[in-house]
């Protein structure tokens, strides 16, 4: 079976608004940049996959018809993948399957967002929840994170400042990321003093609303340009969660609060990649977290530290860029979160670290293995990938 590898990558600087580009412009620019980065002839692609979450509410829809013309590989579109903010990683997994199955040598995955083209994201995010029950009780991404954060703080005696340590770490990392939307460091006190949205979630706890674009060319080993370390997709895992978050809150099944679903997805990925002890075998992690609490729950569910310890460990310097196991050295979604691209950006940042091409954000990898995650919905469905050089 063919081992799928990352041949080329490209990402666009994330911004609140990108008024100088149409959606098709963004797709075209980023697609050709990724192919150029790979050294592959644009005419030598076998397929194209579009990462595009929901849609009318983001100002675009069904872009597989009007946004892909003339893109490399667009004469053989292999599908549009829509899994909310997990679309990018799910699309990357599908591209790897095409290559691994031997049905394609090279597949381009591309995604773009112009989130500023609609008044707000409430319509799109509202689609995450049941319209007849959960939406009536102001169930949204922020209130969901608030439930998780308050439960976490109570269960593990974590203070607001300790909770803020994730955002402080990521915003500090984002200063070194030329693609980040937010490039100013913040203090824990600034996070704690920022406007309250839904206790204990404050404005600076949240990922910004972002426009951006990203593309990855996936192919069989040896089908890209030479001179780079081979970055393999070593394993994937995924877990589709429940539609109604409350349906999983019965005693003994608190995956929404303890990350059991993510742990199940990770176990799958680790088994395929041959990872037994993630704490020592993972060199770095790029985890999708639109809120600080999600990163804490993810670090623990992925087995990178014991339950309830992530916040204090981050406050003590663990998981920082200069630590043994850096988490989100790019700043993560805290510093920019374009929904269609964010899963691809996690893979791109992981690949750049493995190639040694991450520039100012480059960290020292004790192991040539990087973990990536993405989440569809409010901690509802999980994608986990392991990349290895």
Partner 1 sequence: MKGEVAILGAAARVGASVAADLESEVRSVVLDSLASSKLDLDDIDAVVTVASDTLDGVMVPIRAEVAGAFGKMPLNIPSSAGHALAAAVVLLESGQARHVLLAGWGAASKLAHHDSRSIQADPFHDRPAGAVPAQVAALQASELLDEFPDLPPHGITFADGAVALVLGSSEGHDAAVRIADAGTSSRGYYPEDDKVDPLRWVNEAMAKWRQQPAKPQVAVSGPGRTAEARAATAFTDATPSGPALLPSGSEAWFGPATALFQAFQLHQQLSRTGGEGVLIDMAGPMGQHVTCVRLAGGAA
Question: Where does this chain bind partner 1 (CB under 8 A)?
Answer: 1, 22, 24, 47-48, 50, 53-56, 59-62, 64-66, 68-70, 74-84, 86, 90, 93-94, 96-98, 100-103, 127-131, 236-243, 261, 264, 268, 376-377, 380-381
- We find the least distance from the C-beta atom of residue 221 to partner 1, in angstroms, to be 15
Distance (Å, whole) CA 319 – CA 337: 20
Q: Which is nearer to partner 1, 161 or 244 (CB)?
A: 244
- We find the least distance from the C-beta atom of residue 209 to partner 1, in angstroms, to be 18
Q: Which is nearer to partner 1, 241 or 329 (CB)?
A: 241
Q: Which is nearer to partner 1, 263 or 325 (CB)?
A: 263
Q: Concatenated DSSP letters for 38-101?
A: HT--GGG--EEEEE----GGGT---HHHHT-TTSTTGGGEEEEE-BTBTHHHHHHHHHHHHHHT
Q: Which is nearer to partner 1, 80 or 228 (CB)?
A: 80
- We find the least distance from the C-beta atom of residue 120 to partner 1, in angstroms, to be 17
Tokens representing residue 176 in the block: 């070194």
Strand, helix or coil for residue 308: coil
Strand, helix or coil for residue 333: helix
Contact indicator for 259, 300 with CB cutoff of 8 Å: yes
Q: Which is nearer to partner 1, 175 or 242 (CB)?
A: 242
Q: Which is nearer to partner 1, 60 or 163 (CB)?
A: 60
- We find the least distance from the C-beta atom of residue 324 to partner 1, in angstroms, to be 31
Q: Which is nearer to partner 1, 141 or 314 (CB)?
A: 141
Distance (Å, whole) CA 339 – CA 196: 24
- We find the least distance from the C-beta atom of residue 67 to partner 1, in angstroms, to be 8
How many CB atoms neighbour CB 224 within 10 A?
22
Tokens representing residue 44 in the block: 């030598």
Q: What does each C-alpha distance from 207 to 142, 151, 190, 237, 247 come to in angstroms?
A: 10, 20, 15, 25, 27
Distance (Å, whole) CA 166 – CA 22: 34
- We find the least distance from the C-beta atom of residue 304 to partner 1, in angstroms, to be 22
Q: Which is nearer to partner 1, 127 or 150 (CB)?
A: 127
Q: How many CA atoms lie within 13 A of 9 on its CB side?
A: 22
- We find the least distance from the C-beta atom of residue 353 to partner 1, in angstroms, to be 24
Question: DSSP label at 361?
Answer: G
- We find the least distance from the C-beta atom of residue 245 to partner 1, in angstroms, to be 10
How many CB atoms neighbour CB 1 within 10 A?
7
* Buried/exposed code over 347-360 (b: 16+ C-beta within 10 A; e: otherwise): bbbbbbbbbeebee
- We find the least distance from the C-beta atom of residue 66 to partner 1, in angstroms, to be 4
Residue tagged 């729950």 (tokens)? 297
Q: Which is nearer to partner 1, 197 or 244 (CB)?
A: 244
Distance (Å, whole) CA 97 – CA 218: 10
Q: Which is nearer to partner 1, 64 or 159 (CB)?
A: 64
- We find the least distance from the C-beta atom of residue 131 to partner 1, in angstroms, to be 5
**H or E stretch covering 213:** strand 212-220
């Amino acid at each position: 079976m063919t081992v799928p590898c990352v041949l080329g990558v490209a990402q666009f600087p994330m911004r609140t608004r990108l008024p100088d580009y149409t959606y098709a412009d963004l797709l075209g620019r980023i697609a050709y940049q990724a192919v150029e980065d790979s050294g592959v002839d644009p005419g030598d692609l076998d397929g194209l996959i579009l990462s595009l979450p929901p849609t009318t509410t983001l100002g675009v829809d069904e872009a597989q018809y009007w946004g892909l013309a003339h893109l490399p590989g667009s004469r053989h579109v292999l599908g549009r993948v829509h899994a909310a903010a997990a679309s990018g990683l799910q699309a990357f997994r599908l591209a790897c399957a095409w290559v691994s199955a031997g049905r394609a040598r090279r597949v381009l995955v591309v995604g773009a967002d112009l989130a500023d083209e609609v008044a707000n994201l409430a319509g799109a995010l509202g689609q995450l929840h049941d319209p007849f029950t959960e939406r009536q009780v102001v169930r949204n991404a922020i209130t969901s994170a608030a439930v998780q954060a308050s439960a976490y703080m109570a269960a593990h005696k974590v203070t607001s400042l300790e909770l803020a340590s994730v955002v402080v770490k990521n915003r500090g990392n984002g200063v070194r990321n030329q693609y980040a939307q937010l490039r100013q460091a913040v203090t824990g006190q600034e996070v704690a003093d920022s406007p309250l949205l839904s206790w204990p979630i404050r404005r600076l706890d949240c990922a910004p609303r972002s426009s951006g674009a990203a593309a990855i060319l996936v192919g069989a080993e040896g089908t890209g340009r030479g001179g780079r370390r081979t970055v393999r997709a070593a394993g994937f895992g995924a877990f589709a969660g429940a539609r109604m978050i409350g349906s999983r809150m019965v005693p003994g099944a608190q995956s929404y609060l303890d990350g059991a679903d993510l742990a199940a997805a990770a176990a799958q990925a680790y088994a395929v990649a041959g990872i037994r002890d993630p704490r020592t075998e993972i060199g770095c992690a790029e985890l999708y977290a639109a809120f600080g609490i999600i990163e804490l729950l993810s670090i623990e569910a992925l087995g990178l530290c014991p339950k309830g310890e992530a916040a204090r460990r981050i406050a003590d310097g663990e998981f920082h860029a200069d630590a043994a196991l850096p988490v989100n050295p790019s700043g993560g979604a805290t510093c920019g979160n374009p929904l269609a691209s964010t899963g691809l950006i996690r893979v791109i940042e992981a690949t750049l670290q493995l190639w040694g091409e991450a520039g100012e954000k480059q960290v020292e990898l004790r192991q040539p293995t990087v973990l990536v995650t993405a989440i569809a919905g409010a901690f509802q469905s999980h994608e986990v990938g392991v990349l290895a050089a």
